[in-house]
Structure 1
Amino acid sequence: MVIRAESVRRRYGSTVALDGVSFAVESGEVFALVGPNGAGKTTLIRALTGTTKADGDVEVFGGPPAAVSGERLGLLPQEFSPAGRLTARELVAYYGGLYDESRSPDAVLEDVGVDDAADTHYENLSGGQKRRVCVGTALVNDPELLVLDEPTTGIDPAGRREMWDLIEGLADSGTTVLLTTHYMAEAERLADRVGLLADGRLVALGTPAELIDRHGGADRLVVDVGDEGDAARALERAGYRVLPDERHLAVGVGPGEIPAVVETLDEAGVDYERLTWRQPDLEDVYLAVTGAEVDAETVEREAVGR
């Protein structure tokens, strides 16, 4: 076992940041802590890496976090502002120099997709390039445990997927990865297991498939309609089950029932803009478990776990 957390608690004055969080991370596992800003993800990362004190019992590699050799750990905090006057290559080389053994800066920059900007000063890089270089500084020592706090924030969607490929490759090679994210697709793609945090509590834990099966609800037809009340009444009169879905009007049907739903709406004179059949995902799980919606628009603006 690489990480063990038992009843971890942390308060800042009257604010409860962590409220009895317990979970474990096995060797070679990718574990994602999911939740919106303010859920307690960063505080938990700090407790696990020994950079903040917390009540409870925390072990990393079988001992206290502060006793873990830096050679075994790679950490990318959410807030990280290296010297802007250094080039990307110089930054990675600087952090590599903190370890007895480290990887070639050029190889690391190639891995994170900024080798073409190796000689560009950090302050002149784009936001996405900066974040990639920061990820590189956490990889330069080839760590056994890689801790990434919001690793793809500020990276465009294409770059985010490249970073996912990199993390998957590290996991395939045996690196244990603990990451936090508020991108549900990121957790669903990368994680062996997911812990959902809300208000400092771990409210659900399992594989993405387990969580979706347990909490995600039924497959659904999403109706993009101006007057949801008229549409819902027409569908309910026809015997369809309108699902609780805070994002859209949704009907619990399989794909073979879509033509009949369309006919029902047409006969009722309900105008709609779009119909989308979809299966539940981690965002549905989060809605069901916490009652709070992850604000996808905020997430995208920021981009340009027992």
Structure 2
Amino acid sequence: APSPFLSGGPGFQNQVGGGFWGTTTPTAGAEEPILRVRGLSHRYPEGERAILDGVGFTLRRGEILAIQGSSGSGKTTLLKKLLGLLKSERDTIYIHGDDITLSKPQRYYRYMAYLSQNPEHLFVSDTVRGELESAGPEGLALARRFRLDHLLDRNPWKLSEGEKRRLSLCIALALDRDLILMDEPTYGLDQESRRDLADLLLPLLEAQRALLIVSHDTPFLRTLPCRILRLTQGRLVDLPPPLEALQRVDPVEARP
């Protein structure tokens, strides 16, 4: 059966907490940001305040943008917006300059890979080899780079948390998506695995991918050349850049 990561099936839409997905990456002009969002807004029926209140930012190739926030601050809602699972009339989402705001989620899947804190939720094969093959011809070719070549016959559900992350990242790169969304990527990882994960993100940047990371793990984020924003009271607030010399992210719109 085809992988739901490739088809964007309903199993993913029922949970922002699956694995990764997509189909093909469209050709795009280098002058356009990969992702530009404006006015992301959302208020849940039972809420007294907007969980998102006009959020906007821009993300380009080879950049990392990290978003932090306390529990209930709207991080998951923001991810659902970026995945096309929640919409409002104020939202505007451009990918490669194309307005896809009102498109079905399947169109979003053409551009993005999504990695959650529980990547095994969308594993579909009983071997690592099968998972990599489902990602396309590059999957197995990248196995050595992510130190998975000795795990090909293992059951992916029985891998360690760090190995699952490596498998997820390998698949994300093999799927050839320009934009990778990561939800709490250090969840369940020890300190050594956190350092390992930071090193494994470098091939994605070298391949000119854009990364958006939602994480509460400040020490981990401060090892990365990224810009950090905090989501609070529905708005994004700039935090001091972790590595000035490696800062590569363009100014991000954040309402005062």
Same fold (TM over 0.5): yes
C-alpha contact (below 8 Å) 1:112/1:163 kept by paired residues? no
Unaligned ranges ≥5, structure 1: 211-304
Taking the aligned partners of 2:124 and 2:35, their CA distance within structure 1 comes to 34
> SS where residue 122 of structure 2 aligns?
coil
Provide closer, same or farther for how the CA distance between residues 7 and 191 of structure 1 changes in structure 2, counting only shifts above 3 A: farther
- Equivalent residue letter for 2:35: I
Task: Write the distance in 1 (CA, Å) between the matches of 2:57 and 2:109.
Answer: 23
Distance 1:182 1:53 in 2: 25
1:105 paired to 2:140: yes
Cα distance in 1 between the residues matched to 2:145 and 2:163: 12
1:12 aligns with 2:51: no
User: 1:79-118, aligned counterparts within 5 Å?
Assistant: 79-80=118-119, 81-83=121-123, 86-94=126-134, 96-97=135-136, 102-107=137-142, 109-118=143-152
In the TM superposition, residue 189 of structure 1 has moved relative to its aligned partner by 2.0
Change (3 A) 1:110 1:18: farther
Q: Which amino acid counterpart does residue 146 of structure 1 have in structure 2?
A: I
Q: Secondary structure at the match of 1:42?
A: helix
Q: How far is the alpha carbon of 1:106 from its aligned partner? A: 4.9
Cα–Cα, structure 1 residues 193 and 166, in superposed 2: closer, same or farther, change >3 Å?
Answer: same
Normalising by structure 1, report the TM-score.
Answer: 0.59
Q: Which 10-residue stretch deviates more, 65-74 or 52-61?
A: 65-74
- Summarize the Cα distance change of 1:13–1:113 in structure 2 as closer, same or farther, 3 Å threshold: farther
Match of 2:116 in 1: 77
Q: Tell me the number of residue pairs that the alignment of Structure 1 and Structure 2 aligns.
A: 206
Q: Secondary structure at the match of 2:114?
A: strand
Q: Alignment partner for residue 129 of structure 1, among 163, 168, 177? A: 163
| Greater Rg over alpha carbons, structure | 1
Change in Cα spacing, 1:137 to 1:173, as seen in structure 2 (3 Å) is: closer
On the 8 A contact 1:135/1:151 being kept in 2, the answer is no
Structure with bigger strand share is: 1
- Partners of 1:120 and 1:70 lie apart in 2 by 28
| Mapped partners of 1:206, 1:6: distance in 2 | 23
How far apart, CA to CA, are the structure 2 residues paired with 1:93 and 1:209? 37
Match of 2:219 among 164, 185, 195: 185
Question: 1:274-301: CA deviations, max 9, x gaps?
Answer: xxxxxxxxxxxxxxxxxxxxxxxxxxxx
* Structure 1 contact 195–205 (Cα < 8 Å) conserved: yes
Tell me the residue number matched to 1:196: 230
Quote how far apart the aligned CAs of 1:78 are: 3.9
Give the residue type in structure 2 aligned to 1:161.
R
Paired residues of 2:69 and 2:230 also in contact (CA < 8 A): yes
Name the CA shift for 1:89/1:167 in 2 (closer, same or farther; >3 Å): same
Aligned with 1:143 (options 177, 184, 202): 177
Provide the C-alpha distance between the structure 2 equivalents of 1:11 and 1:69, rounded to a whole number of angstroms: 22
Q: Secondary structure at the match of 1:111?
A: coil
Say which structure, 1 or 2, has more relative contact order (CA 8 Å, 6+ apart).
Answer: 2
User: What code does the residue aligned with 2:44 have?
Assistant: Y
Give ranges in structure 2 of 5+ residues lacking alignment.
1-32, 245-252
Alignment CA distance shift 1:132-1:146 (3 Å): same
Quick check: which one's helix share is greater? Answer: 1
Cα distance per residue 1:72-128 (max 9 Å; x no partner): 43222345402476111211212x14xxxx413252x33333332221112222233
Change (3 A) 1:61 1:79: farther
Q: Give how far 1:69 is off.
A: 6.7
How far apart in 1 are the matches of 2:226 and 2:46?
Answer: 35
Taking every aligned residue pair, what percent have the same amino acid on both sides?
30
How far has the Cα of 1:135 moved from its partner? 2.8
- SS at the partner of 2:176? coil
SS at match of 2:43: strand
